[in-house]
Structure 1
Amino acid sequence: MCLFGIVDAVEDFFKSVVACACCLIIGGPALIIAGSILLNQKDNRKAFRDAVNEFNPTPMNDWTGTINNVPITVRRESLNVKGVDGATSVFAEAVVPVSQMSSSRLQVSVNVSAVTPFNRMAPFNIMRNSTYSCSSSDCKDGKDCKCKRDVRSFGEKCTARGGIYNKAPTWCEAGHICGECLETLYLRQLYLVVREVSNGKYAEDTNLRSAMYAFGDLDNDYQPGVPSTVTVRLYSSKDPYIALQRLTKGTNDLGLNSRTVGIVLIVLGCLFLLLEIGVCTALICYWTRPKKTPSGAAPYLAPPSYGIPTSGASGNAAPNFYAQPAQQTGQGYTYGQAAPPGYTYGQPPQGQPIPPGYTYGQPPQGYSYGP
C-alpha cells in the first residue's frame, strides 16, 4: 500500500510539472490572443451609453390616451446600470382588467396621442415545459443524495404551481436522475413597442413585437395562476431599456468592460512570456555551464623531460638518446629539488637501460659541461 502511495505521489508530481509547463508554453500566447480579441470587440457599455444619449423622452412626456379604455400613466424608471449615469426608461402604462377572460388570446387596443391607433392580439396563456437533470454518480446503494433531493424539490415546486410533473421522462440519459414539468402560464405584463416615424409622431413597430429579448410575440411576462389584470406597457423603440435587453440578451447585466478585460489579459500574457523566457534562459545557462574540477583533485601535469629537448636542440643542449620523453626519476621528483632517497647524481635511475656509448659520470659525445 505504501508503494502504491509513493507511485501515486510521483504521478501527481509529474502531472503538476506537465501542467505548469503547458501553462508556461501555451498560457502566455493564449492570453495575448484572447486579450486582442476582446480589445477588438464591441464595447457594450459604450453602446448602451450612446443609446442613453440618443434617447429623447420629451415627446413621450406629453402622451395621453387609453389602452383598452383604461387611461395611461407615463412612468419613468431608472435602469441602475453600473458605469452609466442617467439611464432612465420612459413608458406609458395601463392596468387592464381580464376577470372575464374566456379566450386564449388577449386583444389590446391602443389609443394614445401622437401614436397611430393599433390593435394587438397577444397570447393570454402558454404551455411551458421545463426540465431538470443531474448525475446520480454519488447516489449509491439506494442512499439519499443531493441529486435526488434537487429533483424531488423541482417536482414539488412544479406541483405547487399547478403543473404536471413527470419523474421519468423518456429523454433521461443513463446515470442521471431527471424530472419534467409541464405547466400553464398566464400573461401578467405585455410589452408593446412603437417607432418614431417623424418628429414626435409614432406608429406600431412590426419588427419589435415586444420590448423584452428576443422581441417576439411570446417574449412577455408569463407566470403561473390566472390573473385578474394585465399590465400593458408602451415603449419607444429607442428606449434605453430595449437597448439594454438587446446588448445583454435579456440579462440586463453588461458585466465587465471588454476593453479593460482585454488589456488585463494581454498584460498577464506578457508576464507569462517573460517568465517562460526566464526559465528557458536559466535552463540554458545550467546546461552550458563550464564543468568544474572535482574538489581536492590536483591539476594534470605533463611528465618532466629533465631539461633535454626532443627536437629543435641548439647550443650545448644534450640530445635525447632515448627517443622518448624521459621518465620521472622518482615519485614526486622534479629537477631543482633535492634528489630522492637512494638516488646518486651521476648514476642511472633505477630500472633505466644504459644507452650505447654512454659512460656514467661522463658527458655524452659532443657535449661538454660549462661554457
Structure 2
Amino acid sequence: MAETIAVYGYRVRQARTIRYSPIKPLAQMLDMSPSAWTALERSTSTEMPRLKLRTLATRLKFPSEFFLQPPGLPIHRGSLLFRTKKSIKVAQIDALTTLAEMIVELVAALGENATQPPLRLPMSLRQEVSPEEAAQQTRQALDLPDSEPIPHVIHTLERAGVPVAFADADMPDAKHDAFSVWGGDFHEQPLIVARHVNSWERTRWSIAHETGHLILHRGAAGEVDEDAANRFANEFLLPADMLRDEWPSAVTLTSLMPLKRRWQMSLAAIINHGKHLGLIEEHRATGLFKQLSARRDPHTGVTWRIQEPGWAELEPERPRLLTVMAERGLERRPTAELFTVLTGGWASDLMEQIIAGQREAPAVIQELAKTAPQSLPGNVVALRRA
C-alpha cells in the first residue's frame, strides 16, 4: 500500500470551515506552515501521508474517505441570499456556504435514486417587477388560490422543487432564521436552510421571505434587498386584495387576531403589510408595535413582540422532501449512516442534524419502512477506510 494518498484540497476546506476550525492549529498539528495549508486547500489534489490523513480526519470528525472524493459543484461565498452585516465573520459565511454545499450534494445523491419534484417557481420575471407582483405570479405558478391561506408553506415549496432543510446553523444575527441559495453552474438548484425556532408564524414567514430572495435575487452578488423580500413574503402569505377585504374597521391587536389565525401570519407582519398598503397610518402602526412590546404572555413573561399571542396554537412547519426521496427511492428510512454513504463521507453528525429537522413520516409509511429491504441499492457502496 502506498504511503501517501491524493487528497482533494476543496474537501479539506469544506471540513475545516463547517467545523469552524482555524488554519493555524490544524497546520501545526500536521507540521505544516499556514501558507502550505492554504496552498493545500487551493490545490485540486495533493499527496498526503496516510497517517496525516487519519490524524486530520479524526481532528475534524470526518471519515477519511470524504477527503478522497471529488467535490461537487461549489457554491460561491457571495451567493448566499441574506443581507450581510458588517459584524458577520468570514468564518460564518464560509460555514454556511459549506453547509449549503453539503445539502445540495445530498439532494443530488438522493436524486439518483428518486425523482425530485420539477421546479415550478416563476423564473422569467421582468426586471422591473415589484415584489408584490412576483408574489402573485408565484402563487399562480404554484396553483394557490388568492382567496385561501397556504396550508403548509414548506410542503408547498417542496412540491414545487425547492428543498428545505433545518439545521443548527450559526446565522449572522438573531433576526436571521434562514438563508437561501442557488446551486449549480446555471443557478438551477434552489435551496432554503433554516434553523429551529418554536414560533410557527415566524417559521412560515421566514420561509416565504427566503422564497422571495430566490425569485427576486437569483444570480445576485453582494447584498440583497431585504425590504423587497419582506414585501414578497407578506403578499405571498396574504394577498393584498384579501387583506383589504378582511381589514377590520377599528384596528386593534385584538381585531387583527382573526386575520392572524386565518392566514397563519404574525400580527407584526400583518401590521407591516397593512401599513405598506395604506390601510393603517404610520403613527397607528407604531402604536400597535409599542403595544406588542409592552404586553407580556402571562405564562412565560415574554413580551408579545418576541412571542405573540397564539404562538403555541400550532406546531412549526418542518420539511420532509429529503425523507420522502430516501423512502421512495431507496425504500429505507433515512439514517445518518445512509446519508453519509450516499454523499461519499459527509460527517454523520451533520447528517443527523438534517434528519432531525425533517418531519416524521405518516404512520403507514413508517410501517412500510420497517418491512422494506435494508440493503443499500446497487449503486451505493459502503465506505471503506483508507
TM-score by length of 2: 0.18
Q: From the two aligned structures, give the one with the greater strand fraction.
A: 1
Task: Using structure 1 for the length normalisation, give the TM-score.
Answer: 0.18
Which protein has the larger Cα radius of gyration, Structure 1 or Structure 2? 1
